[in-house]
Amino acid sequence: MGNRLSKIYTRTGDDGSTGLGDGSRVGKDSLRVNAYGTVDELNSAIGMVLAADGVTEDVREALTQVQHDLFDLGGELCIPGMAMVEDSDIDRLEHILDRLNEPLPPLKEFILPGGGMAAACGHLARTVCRRAEREVIALARVEDIRSQPQRYLNRLSDLLFVISRVLARASGHGEVLWQHERRRKPQAAG
């Protein structure tokens, strides 16, 4: 384990820069900082799912492992050239996704975010995950980034969607379906 922080503020970022894991300094608005910052935000959003009532044990176990993975992924993005997310992590997500999705009924309509607090937090985490994926893609356009972080986030957003469905059903609230027929069809001018 590295050094523990005994003093939280350093004042080194007062100029708008921050230190990367390799010791280099970049702007706090750099693509790299945006990418790992959004991964950190995603981890917090998953913490909100875990803090909600009604999270099933299998979902709790899966998301706790995901939080550890995201800390690793953030570290990979914070240290240029570091490799921490592996293909086996992505395979694990796919296995969990298949297992949780199998008993769910097929989708016939789009689902709106909701279905109880835990499910709504899951949908929020899914949208933050999609943003993290976009941030990693933007970074990969200008710097060498391995494919695993992007693939992991892509699969995780799918898993968070399925987890939100599972939690909506487990809560008794059920899924909130988009009612496309609620709008009247426009009448022809005439």
Q: Which residue has the higher pLDDT, 89 or 18?
A: 89
Q: Can you give the pTM of this predicted structure?
A: 0.85
| Three-class SS state of 106 | coil
Residue type, 89: D
What was the pLDDT predicted at 112? 84
Share of residues in the chain with pLDDT > 90 (%): 63
CB 150 within 8 A of CB 133: yes
The pLDDT of 29-35, averaged and rounded, is: 86
What was the pLDDT predicted at 178? 82
What was the pLDDT predicted at 177? 78
Query: Looking at the predicted structure, is the pLDDT value of residue 123 above 90?
Result: yes
Query: Looking at the predicted structure, is the pLDDT value of residue 1 above 60?
Result: no
CB 3 within 8 A of CB 45: no
**Domains and their CATH numbers in the chain:** 27-176 (1.20.1200.10)
Closest CA to 100 of 150, 42, 61, 73: 61
DSSP 176: E
State the distance between the two ends of the chain, measured CA to CA, in whole angstroms.
75
For the ranges 6-10, 57-61, 95-99, the lowest mean pLDDT is seen at 6-10
Query: Looking at the predicted structure, is the pLDDT value of residue 22 above 90?
Result: no
Closest CA to 142 of 31, 42, 23: 31
Paired strand residues for 25:
19
Q: Which residue has the tokens 């996704």?
A: 97
What was the pLDDT predicted at 184? 63
Q: Tell me the average pLDDT of the chain.
A: 88
What was the pLDDT predicted at 17? 59
